[in-house]
Structure 1
Amino acid sequence: MKRLTLLGTVAIAALIALSGAASAKTLKVVTSFTVLGDIAKQVGGSNVEVKNIVPPDGDPHEYEPTPDDAKNLKEADVVIVSGLGLEGWMDRLISGSGYTGTPVVASEGINTRTMKEDGEPVTDPHVWNSPVNVQVWVKNIEKAYEGADPEAAELFKANAENYTKELKDLDAYARSKIDPIPQEKRKVLTSHDVFGYFGREYGVTFLAPLGLSTEGEASAADVAKLIAQIKKEGVKVYFFENSNDPRLVQQIASATGAQSGGELYVEALSKEDGPAPTFEKMFRYNVDQLADAMAKQNVAEQ
């Protein structure tokens, strides 16, 4: 009789646990673009449902919000943006959606750098191209989730700690690939000035015809100046980006003799069947492409 009672108690406890798990809160989360969306999923795990605004291979500078975006935003428990001027369309979307909360700015607290836009200094918003910066994103997202669902705080903390370890591994991986390349050979041409934080972290010089955003157009004088600089500094490799038009950088490469190193994923993840469907895969892919191209350039010049 005692045995049956014990088994019954265990069964009841299991049912209660399952009932509690089934009724656990699932946060509705909206993120501005795919890179941020993946980090939000990593921190939230099964306790969040993430809907992303700018799609895979999309340009976060030039995106035009849709009615579905407004609907998702209004229903969200947590809205996360990168900030620093990246999502210029977000204020318009918020005001038209009826969303009454305050978006979480994932980049708050990052040691930012400045860049030139139309001759004026502005804050560089492309912080995610350094996994050191993404660690700050993780902390800010964990804090936001904890505020929205305190009961799941320990789960969010564990997810954040595990993913932070992955980010530290990514940083170490980049250094292992790039450190052997001589400093003077770490020079690359890209479509626009998006790799500033990567360059600062790993000692790579990136040259680009466009500055902060892909929305602007490079003047003939700026292009001519860049071509002269590329020739002077001996830049031999260029890359185009999955989220914007490659024609300008290809024209500059043609004028300088730079050879294509392929496509990089910098402002948007690829689709699921592509080479960069997560931030971890995107970063490793970019590091491999850049390091291999610079290493080959170095060998060719020896």
Structure 2
Amino acid sequence: MSKLAKLAAAASIMTLGHTAMASAENLNVVASFSIIADFARNVGGDKVDITTLVGPDGDAHVYEPRPADAAAVGAADVVLVNGLQFEGFLQRLVEASGTKAPVVELTKGGEVLKSTEEDHHDGEEARHDHEAEKHKHEEGEEHAHDKSGEHAHEKEEEHAHEGDHGHHHGEFDPHAWHSVHNAEVYVKNIADAFCAADAAGCDTYRANAEAYGAKLEALEKEIEAVVAAIPEDKRTIITSHDAFGYFEHEYGLKFLAPEGVSTESEASAADVAALIRQVREDEASAIFVENITNPRLIEQIASETGIRIGGTLYSDALSGEDGPAATYIDMMRHNVTTIKGAILGS
């Protein structure tokens, strides 16, 4: 029996028990990773029960789903995902689960940037001109999910084999949540999805989304004020993988990284050497590890460039409840204040 078949069989058994235990009143919501779960919690409040597939400090780029995940997806009323091929495991998991729930891509309607993955290490040309390559992500660009749970995928996903985990991202950078404007789109899409699944609770979901949206607007102003305090000639920094393109585009910092937009893409010795040369030419001000990546490569670059590691940034996952980035707002605030502190020494 194939791995996919085993996952499907386990899901069908576990789903029966899960459905029996589920609250009859609350929506059963599955969120693909921790940041989306936090958005969903703010919109749904106590009217939703949320299962998070990739939890705090987890790396969705390399995640392997478990039978319990297939059971949760199979029993869900709504499945919330990022889209833009961020969740390489998604197609296999949805198929194994047999879910009839809508699979809602939260980046739909957001402003998305072209991926830098293929030419990430081409010297000074490594970064795309994000301003020229910003697009609104419309329904159907990547793949569509209809209400019956049937899934129509683009050719590159149709040709994926079970052994190919799909970690190579597509045309667009999937890390759209690092723009607060896009986070507002995620929240709107969640409210729409919850209203479609539970019309009786729609007023509550809309009110929650509006209240949370006000907090996001305040966060945006706070980030802009912190970045404004950093001199423009000191705004080049280094991180582990290329997850901060949206932050760079929106707020005026420049991020260099030895790895592409997926942590699955390992940096070669030539890549690291090219980055070290670029760091010296651009006079990078600080270097950071990420909560989801091995710090070894960043430690090597820090050693060879003489730049002190300025702390940990949270890119693709929140921290645990006791950490500094337990919510999306905490994460964004922590990242920008950590960057400022490392650069300015305060």
TM range, normalised to the smaller chain?
A: 0.7 to 0.9
Task: Choose the corresponding residue for 1:124, options 166, 173, 176.
Answer: 173
How has the CA–CA distance of structure 1 residues 158 and 24 changed in structure 2, closer, same or farther, with 3 Å as cutoff? farther
Aligned residue for 1:138? 187
Q: For residues 276 and 230 of structure 1, what CA distance do their matches in structure 2 show?
A: 28
CA shift for structure 1 position 294: 2.2
Aligned residue for 1:66? 66
C-alpha contact 1:28 1:48 (8 A) present in aligned 2? yes
C-alpha contact 2:77 2:102 (8 A) present in aligned 1? no
Deviation digits for residues 219-243 of structure 1, max 9, x if unmatched? 2222111110000111131100111
For residues 169-180 of structure 1, the aligned pairs below 5 Å read 169-180=218-229
Aligned residue for 2:157? none
Aligned residue for 2:35? 35
Asked if 1:225 is matched to 2:274, the reply is: yes
- Structure with higher Rg: it is 1
CA shift for structure 1 position 293: 1.5
Task: Choose the corresponding residue for 1:287, options 330, 336, 339.
Answer: 336
Secondary structure of 2:264 counterpart: coil
Asked if 1:236 is matched to 2:285, the reply is: yes
C-alpha contact 1:238 1:249 (8 A) present in aligned 2? yes
Q: State the aligned residue count.
A: 275
Aligned residue for 2:79? 79
For residues 152-171 of structure 1, the aligned pairs below 5 Å read 152-171=201-220
Cα root mean square deviation, aligned: 1.5
C-alpha contact 1:236 1:259 (8 A) present in aligned 2? no
How has the CA–CA distance of structure 1 residues 73 and 24 changed in structure 2, closer, same or farther, with 3 Å as cutoff? closer
Secondary structure of 1:261 counterpart: strand
Q: For residues 115 and 223 of structure 1, what CA distance do their matches in structure 2 show?
A: 20
Deviation digits for residues 96-123 of structure 1, max 9, x if unmatched? 1111333100011111111322338831
Q: For residues 196 and 294 of structure 1, what CA distance do their matches in structure 2 show?
A: 19
Q: What 5-or-longer segments of structure 1 have no aligned partner?
A: 1-22, 298-302
C-alpha contact 1:269 1:278 (8 A) present in aligned 2? yes
Q: Kindly provide the amino acid, as one letter, of the partner of residue 60 in structure 1.
A: A
C-alpha contact 2:32 2:82 (8 A) present in aligned 1? yes
Asked if 1:112 is matched to 2:116, the reply is: no
Q: Kindly provide the amino acid, as one letter, of the partner of residue 129 in structure 1.
A: H
C-alpha contact 1:190 1:206 (8 A) present in aligned 2? yes
Q: What 5-or-longer segments of structure 2 have no aligned partner?
A: 1-22, 121-169
Q: Kindly provide the amino acid, as one letter, of the partner of residue 230 in structure 1.
A: V
Structure 1 runs of 4+ off > 2 angstroms? 118-122, 294-297
Q: For residues 71 and 273 of structure 2, what CA distance do their matches in structure 1 show?
A: 46
